[in-house]
């Protein structure tokens, strides 16, 4: 046929192959979203490195733990001055079982300083506290069997008075019941002392001195004014006092009048201002003046330390 060139069958097949290849490339562009001649980047990834411990900067200072200061309180223990009860003060950790702490201090007996000032005890060495309970104003104290060992009636009465006075210093205690190794005591010791019911200070009036100074006590360090307090059963309820410095000079003197006297025990509580110089120690004398000749009788002598007045 004129005007048309004949195409060899093999050539036609080659042309068809080229067309199909071009079509396939166009399909890849749509599916893959890439332009010809470009290379697809791998997706970006964010790596978090493992956390490493960082050392604190050195400052040259050592960190130390600070403990809260332990709170303390002052309690009284009732020892003996001669044949009568006398007071010593002890400092103990503040605690709910303050009655137990007071009894344990009492059972330790006088310190060397207290003994040098004339204080002693009639409680036998080796006596231990088994337990103490307080309920409805009554303290029940359980002591070891050594408590009633040895001694005559005077020693037995004074050791009972020591415990009763020590416990009844607390307002929650009005009377004391005794036990020995867990057994209630109704008759105490071979002296046959009857303990019928809770014991009170009034039961041991004969074991108390005419003037019982409860503050200050042996070795207390006191600023001015000195607080002088206690109980007394003296003529016209009047006791006299002198405060001496280290040289023996009188730096304060006067008298106190109790709330009751001449046959009944009353209380007194006064402040005594004073000035001192030289060595910070002195002596408090408390006494009665004899109605017969004016001499000093029933003298209580308490060595003290003086402290500067608190600032501000």
Query: Is the pLDDT score of 98 beyond 80?
Result: yes
Q: Enumerate domains of the chain plus CATH numbers.
A: 72-207 (no CATH), 211-306 (2.60.40.2550)
pLDDT (average), residues 188-195: 94
Query: Is the pLDDT score of 104 beyond 50?
Result: yes
pLDDT (average), residues 64-90: 89
DSSP 8-state assignment for residue 296: E
Task: State pLDDT tens for residues 25-70.
Answer: 333 333 333 333 333 333 333 333 334 344 444 444 455 566 767 7
pLDDT at 64: 56
SS3 assignment for 146-215: HHHCCCCHHHHHHHHHHHHHHHCCCCCCCEEEEEECCEECCEECCCCEECCCCECHHHHHHHCCCEEEEE
Task: State pLDDT tens for residues 147-173.
Answer: 999 889 999 999 999 999 999 999 999
Query: Is the pLDDT score of 297 beyond 60?
Result: yes
Query: What's the mean per-residue pLDDT of the chain?
Result: 83
Q: Which residues pair with 36 in a beta bridge?
A: none
The enclosing H or E element of 14 equals: helix 9-32
pLDDT at 306: 97
């Amino acid at each position: 046929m004129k005007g048309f060139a004949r195409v060899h069958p093999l050539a036609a097949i080659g042309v068809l192959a080229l067309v199909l290849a071009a079509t396939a490339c166009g399909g890849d562009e749509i599916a893959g979203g890439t332009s010809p001649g470009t290379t697809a980047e791998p997706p970006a990834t964010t790596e978090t490195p493992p956390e490493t411990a960082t050392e604190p900067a050195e400052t040259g200072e050592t960190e130390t733990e600070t403990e809260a200061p332990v709170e303390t309180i002052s309690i009284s223990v009732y020892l003996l001055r001669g044949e009568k009860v006398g007071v010593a003060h002890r400092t103990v950790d503040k605690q709910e079982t303050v009655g137990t702490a007071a009894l344990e201090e009492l059972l330790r007996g006088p310190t060397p300083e207290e003994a040098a000032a004339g204080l002693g005890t009639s409680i036998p060495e080796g006596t231990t506290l088994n337990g103490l309970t307080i309920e409805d104003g009554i303290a029940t104290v359980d002591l070891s069997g050594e408590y009633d060992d040895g001694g005559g009636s005077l020693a037995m009465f004074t050791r009972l008075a020591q415990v009763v006075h020590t416990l009844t210093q607390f307002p929650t205690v009005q009377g004391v019941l005794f036990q020995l190794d867990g057994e209630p005591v109704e008759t105490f010791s071979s002296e046959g002392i009857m303990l019928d019911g809770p014991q009170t200070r009034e039961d041991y009036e004969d074991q108390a001195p005419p003037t019982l100074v409860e503050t200050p006590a042996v070795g207390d360090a006191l600023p001015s004014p000195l607080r002088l307090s206690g109980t007394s059963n003296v003529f016209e309820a009047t006791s006299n006092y002198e405060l001496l410095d280290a040289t023996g000079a009188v730096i304060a003197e006067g008298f106190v009048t109790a709330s009751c006297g001449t046959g009944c025990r009353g209380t007194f509580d006064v402040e005594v201002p004073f000035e001192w110089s030289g060595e910070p120690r002195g002596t408090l004398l408390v006494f009665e003046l004899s109605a017969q000749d004016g001499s000093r009788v029933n003298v209580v002598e308490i060595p003290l330390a003086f402290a500067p007045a608190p600032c501000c």
